Structure 1
Amino acid sequence: MVKKSKSRTQITAKLNYFLVNKSYLTGLLTGFLLGLLFFVLIPKLQEKIKKTDPTNQAITAEKTASVQSEQLISEVTQKVLPEKFDLGVSFGDTVKKLVETGAIDRQKFMDLYQNRGGLPAEFQNLFDEASAEEITVTKENNAILLNLLWPLGIANKTDFLAAGPMKEDSANYASTGGWTLGREDGGKLFNRFPILPLTEGQEKEVVEIAQNIYRPCCGNSTYFPDCNHGAAMLGFIELAVVQGLSRDEIYKKALLLNSQWFPQTYVELAVYFKTQKNQEWNRVNPKEVLGSPYSSGAGYQAINKTLTESGLLPKVEGGGGCGV
């Protein structure tokens, strides 16, 4: 009887040991399976759902497109707006003559820039002496150059201005009425002084080039210089033709000038050519870009609309208005 009782006790102990360890093993296995479920299977399932969810796909695509758009605009802006460039011409004695004839009033000009931090010495010297140094254009000085070329465009005496679209009521345009830095009203200065004489052939060339160069502030070509940008561009073309630049070079420099004066417009145009025509900015034809379909007010607005609808509209600082 004692042996049987002992045997039963041993069996009971083993059974209890097994049951206790079975519960432990079951708990261990359950914990492992739950861990696998929560830390491996569920995250993978969630990731798969995210990838196949149209909403998440759209958000991811939008973020990717935004980054790509920013990179594109940054690259394009650097190409359109170099830190500086040579204009290919010098002022010679034109600024000196503009001062002597009264097309520029030295004191008014100096006073204007005194309120803007002062006129750099390189420009002050132009009032008194000729300069053969090639003009360098930068973001900081392009507005000064605009105001030096502007009076040349309206005051230089030429046959084409005498017969052109401003021959009637010439004092009432932005380029003449808005020029307040002369000794007389801008209207009285129009086509008045032989500051930069042109031959008949040179005048013809100036007209042909000017008729192909537009500006986005209006619908007129440079041949109709009714605002400061048009008059300044005309002044540049006259200098360039007299100093012997080729037409291709003049269009190239004119595009760089317009880009400085209208940076928003030309960065947009560069984005348009890149995305819609697959053309890099340095490969476009400057004469084509400066034409009415792209550089006139109406042409630019059409491009702007296309970029807006495509979500590719850049934001660029700089440029100025139609006043001094």
Structure 2
Amino acid sequence: MLTEETSVGNERALQKLKAQLNLWRAASLVMIGIFIFNQFLFVDINLKSSTNIQTATNNNEAAATASVDQLVAAVLPEAGVKLPAGWGNLGKQMVAAGVINQSAFEEVYASRGGLDAYSKNLLLAEANDQLVINSQTAAVLLNLLWALGLGNKNPVLDQGLMQDPQYGGAGNFASTGGWTVASGDAMDHYSQHQFITLNSDQQALVERVAQNIYRPCCGNATHFPDCNHGLAMLGLLELMAAQGVSEDDMYRVALQVNAYWFPDTYLTLAKYFSARGVSWPQVNAKEVLGSAYSSSQGYQQILAEVEPVTSPGGGGCGV
């Protein structure tokens, strides 16, 4: 039989147990509340973070787009570049000599929409002013200057690397075998015509500059014009030297012309220099045209340090 003292003890124990249960219940509710609050806070933070990241990404993309637009405006101005070289009737002379077969040349362009009025004048007119290169004229100027570099008599072609026996003859290169719009074989016209006559100082200037102008399609300088871009640049250098263009201006013009012929390359180089605090108008043209930047090997090293920029335009190594 339970005593009164025992009953009182049990009652106290029961009350203590109830108090502990209430305490644990309250603590559990608090923990649940904290957990729910943290979940809402986490979601809110993540939403804000995601929004901020997306906003930053959009801003970066807009900045990158603007940057590319600025590069294009500097490297490939829409209005083009007027070259310090008058063309005269060189196109007409080359057609008459057979370096350019007019019908074959026009047939090539028929599949591309035909020659425009400016290009027809360069090909056939008696008189033309200074050449203007832009995104529309770059390709036809490449071909016309290619014909000039191929046909004009010059020691670079007669005594230079094109005649090295290891290559089996000058006719085995893309710059010669690839010229398929001549009357007869391209080699019938190789260094055979006196379209431009240079004195000894002018010839020395052409050779000196040609040794320092590389092209991204290969690892060779203009002094070894084994592709169309090489012969075209040689023709342009001859034209400028004959008309008294200074050495510094020849490099400046060559860089502008190369940029239109290889837009992706030179937009990427402009981006590379911009990242180092040098704007495109400030670059040293001779340095940029050198092997470290403008040869295929040099440019590949640049690509290891900068994401390339792409742009429509440019031309391959054929007509």
Mapping 1:83-232, distance limit 5 Å: 83=78, 84-168=80-164, 169-232=169-232
Q: What is the distance in 1 between the residues matched to 2:44 and 2:309? A: 34
Q: What is the distance in 2 between the residues matched to 1:231 and 1:291? A: 17
1:96 offset after TM fit, Å?
2.0
Return the letter of the residue paired with 1:233.
M
Aligned residues: 280
Question: TM-score, length-normalised on structure 2?
Answer: 0.80
Return the letter of the residue paired with 2:204.
K
Identical residues among aligned pairs (%): 41
Gaps of 5+ in 2: 1-35
1:47 offset after TM fit, Å?
5.0
1:105 offset after TM fit, Å?
0.7
Specify the SS of the correspondent of 2:220: coil
Q: Is the 8 A contact 2:76 2:260 kept in 1?
A: yes
Deviation track 1:229-252 (CA, whole Å, cap 9, x = no partner) reads: 111111111111101111121111
Q: Is the 8 A contact 2:121 2:128 kept in 1?
A: no
The 3 A distance-change label for structure 1 pair 216 and 127 is closer
Deviation track 1:254-298 (CA, whole Å, cap 9, x = no partner) reads: 1111111100000000000011x2111111111111111000001
Aligned counterpart, 2:278: 279
Specify the SS of the correspondent of 1:271: helix
Gaps of 5+ in 1: 1-36
Q: Is the 8 A contact 1:91 1:130 kept in 2?
A: no
Q: Is the 8 A contact 2:212 2:286 kept in 1?
A: yes
Aligned counterpart, 2:290: 291
Q: What is the distance in 1 between the residues matched to 2:134 and 2:56? A: 38
Q: What is the distance in 2 between the residues matched to 1:256 and 1:290? A: 10
Return the letter of the residue paired with 2:103.
Q
1:82 is aligned, of 58, 77, 80, to: 77
Deviation above 4 Å: which 4+ runs of structure 1?
41-51, 55-64
Q: What is the distance in 2 between the residues matched to 1:62 and 1:195? A: 56
Specify the SS of the correspondent of 2:258: helix
Question: TM-score, length-normalised on structure 1?
Answer: 0.79
Return the letter of the residue paired with 2:109.
Y
Return the letter of the residue paired with 2:254.
A
Deviation track 1:100-120 (CA, whole Å, cap 9, x = no partner) reads: 211111111112122221212
The 3 A distance-change label for structure 1 pair 103 and 294 is same
Return the letter of the residue paired with 1:166.
M
Superposed CA RMSD in Å reads 2.5
